[in-house]
Structure 1
Amino acid sequence: MRIIGGARRGLQLADVGAGDQAAHLRPTSDRVRETIFNLLLNGGYGNPVQGARVLDLFAGTGALGLEALSRGASRAAFVDDGAISRAILRKNIEKMQAMGVTDVWRRDATKLGPNRGPGFNLIFLDPPYGKSLGEAALASAVEGGWLAPEALVVWEEGNAPLPPGGFELLDQRRYGESWITLLRLESRA
């Protein structure tokens, strides 16, 4: 695994090794990550990465949030409740020299609780496939005030999820075993 683009392009991230089967650690491949960022940057959404506050739910190795930092995001918060995942994530943050612009929270992404800071405008959601955890995490994030108005959500899942109420479906594509769904939080007028 490596950073695909931006200021830290080519940086090798920590080796996942055997990973954490119990926690379903399944890093997003370099190819799919590159596709996600091409979609974000070339999909007619402006540049949603530059200056973004990123929330990486089910962060695992943190590759998505770290890629966003390399491409100009201002801050990234990583949420994962797996000990092995967080250890790998911390190594990757050190390799990126991103300690001052990151937060790592040991938390169940489906039970975030209230957000005590500003909302996040770019959310990566990569739950274990086939367990309906993405829907629960999005509901928790909305309920807790974690999303900024019109936040973009990039959701990686094994099947094409239906957008929950309050979200607009912007794009949905299949890449191998993964479906990438791009949503926008609808503004509440």
Structure 2
Amino acid sequence: MRVVAGEYGGRPLKSLAGKTTRPTTDKVKGSIFNMLGQYFEGGRVLDLFAGSGGLSIEAVSRGCDQAVLIEKDRSAQAVIQENITMTKESGKFELMKTTAEQAIPRLSGQFDLLFLDPPYAKEQIVANLETLQARDLLADQALAVCETDKSVELPESIGQLQQIKQKTYGISKITIYERQ
């Protein structure tokens, strides 16, 4: 795994050994950012199930200002910390060592880009996105990128979020919502 493009482009990323996380492949990561638009002009990122932190690091590499990464697994937290150190800009990243459900009430401000790749996809994605909206944590036109197994069917809309793109890559499906 590596950072695909931007300021940190080409730098290697560590990933977690074993089956506790499912790292997004470079091909899928590149495709996600092609769907979103290659680069960003600022904005805040929230990664609710950060794994190795690769998606958030990619977003900051491509121009986002700051990323908040949430991860409960201790081994994954260590990998995220190493990957953040690799950027040499650790001030742009905040790692919250807890579950998404425990972290959301502690969040403040608004986020422009969200990544959700939870272990129990549909129920968790819908519940998390509803809670984030109820707490007014999504900026206008915020984008939510949901990665699931290809068999998971997410709703067309979740509160103010409307599904705008969906694409399947092998066993993974990427669904993107935009706040209307």
The alignment's TM-score, normalised by the length of structure 1, stands at 0.86
Q: 1:15 to 1:25 in 2, by over 3 A?
A: closer
Which has the larger displacement, 175-184 or 155-164? 155-164
Q: 1:92 to 1:32 in 2, by over 3 A?
A: same
Pairing of 1:12-161 with structure 2 (within 5 A): 12-18=12-18, 21=19, 24-41=20-37, 49-111=40-102, 112-116=104-108, 118-130=109-121, 132-158=123-149, 159-161=152-154
Aligned length: 176
Q: Partners in 1 of 2:121 and 2:138 — Cα distance?
A: 24
Question: What value does the CA root-mean-square deviation take over the aligned residues?
Answer: 1.7
Q: 1:5 to 1:98 in 2, by over 3 A?
A: same
Could you say which residue in structure 2 is the equivalent of 1:174?
A: 168
Q: Residue 100 of structure 2 aligns to a residue in which SS?
A: coil
Q: Partners in 1 of 2:122 and 2:158 — Cα distance?
A: 16
Q: Residue 51 of structure 2 aligns to a residue in which SS?
A: coil
Q: What letter is aligned with 1:160?
A: E
Q: Residue 113 of structure 1 aligns to a residue in which SS?
A: helix
Q: Residue 8 of structure 1 aligns to a residue in which SS?
A: coil
Q: Partners in 2 of 1:135 and 1:99 — Cα distance?
A: 31
* Preserved CA contact (<8 Å) 1:110 1:140: no
* Unmatched 5+ stretches in structure 2: none
Moved over 6 A (4+): none
The alignment's TM-score, normalised by the length of structure 2, stands at 0.90
Q: Partners in 2 of 1:82 and 1:123 — Cα distance?
A: 19
- 1:50 Cα deviation after fit: 2.3
- Residue deviations 1:40-82, cap 9 Å, x none? 116xxxx5x3212111110111100000111111111101111
Q: What letter is aligned with 1:16?
A: L
